[in-house]
Amino acid sequence: MAIFASGGGSNAEQIIRFFKDHDSISVDLIVSNKRDAKVLRRAENHSIPSLIIRKKQLSDSTDLLVSLEVFGITHIVLAGFLLLIPHQLIKAFPDRILNIHPALLPKYGGKGMYGMHVHKAVFDNSDSYSGMTIHLVNEEYDEGRILFQKKVMLKAADTPDDIARRVLSAEHRHYSEVIESYVLTGQ
Ligand code: GRF
């Protein structure tokens, strides 16, 4: 698989570790649109090749598709990747692109709903719980088929940062296993 990430890549790190000695699934490439993304350092530490792409190289994915083929990529895992995946890529990887969203979709999804924006919205609504969603990617933000959701209970005193921390820790616990099951069984 290839992991696409724009930022810190703590999910990417978990996934890389999980699949390190796996029998049939491997992380073969890290793709980022940010030259200074911490995830690139993580890739280097694990000796995984990485690719930095500009927005334009994503919107016209012709060259990217060649690279993905060269690396034998069958699945793409988005882990904090902030650009919209274009039609060309979705067509080349039908039902083979997974994303993780830090809330219980369809709540708190859609354009502009990423990172702390999500957790601040949950905080502003005084929700007693939030959660995470792992879903397939289609051409609309956050609207592909849901594979897995996990509720995360919140405390009244939780700040947006606390909410982010709780949700992220649930992401770390579940994303790799959901990827494994989906890649192996399609479920
Ligand atoms: C996660 O909260 C994920 O749900 C969202 O972006 C964040 C990425 O965090 N899509 P990290 O880069 O994996 O630490």
CB 86 within 8 A of CB 126: no
Instruction: Give dist(CA 101, CA 39) in Å, integer.
Output: 18
Task: Tell me the best of 3, 18, 84, 100 to mutate to test the pocket of ligand 1, counting ligand atoms within 8 Å of each CB and taking the most.
Answer: 100
> Ligand 1: which residue has its CA nearest to atom 6?
80
Report, as residue numbers or ranges, the catalytic residues.
Answer: 101
81's tokens:
């990747």
pLDDT of 111? 84
Q: Quick: pLDDT tens for 44-56.
A: 999 999 999 999 9
Strand pairing report for 50-52 and 29-32: parallel
User: What's the pTM?
Assistant: 0.96
> Ligand 1: which residue has its CA nearest to atom 8?
80
43's tokens:
């890739």
Residue with tokens 């988005």: 78
Pocket, ligand 1, Cβ cutoff 6 A = 5, 7-12, 79-80, 100-102, 115, 168, 171
Each residue's pLDDT expressed in tens, for the chain with a length of 187 residues: 999 999 999 999 999 999 999 999 999 999 999 999 999 999 999 999 999 999 999 999 999 999 999 999 999 999 999 998 999 999 999 999 999 999 999 999 988 899 999 999 999 999 999 999 999 998 876 788 999 999 999 999 999 999 999 999 999 999 999 999 999 999 8
Q: Amino acid identity, residue 186? A: G
Among the atoms of ligand 1, which is closest to the Cα of residue 171? 4
Among the atoms of ligand 1, which is closest to the Cα of residue 5? 12
Instruction: Give dist(CA 153, CA 165) in Å, integer.
Output: 12
pLDDT of 167? 98
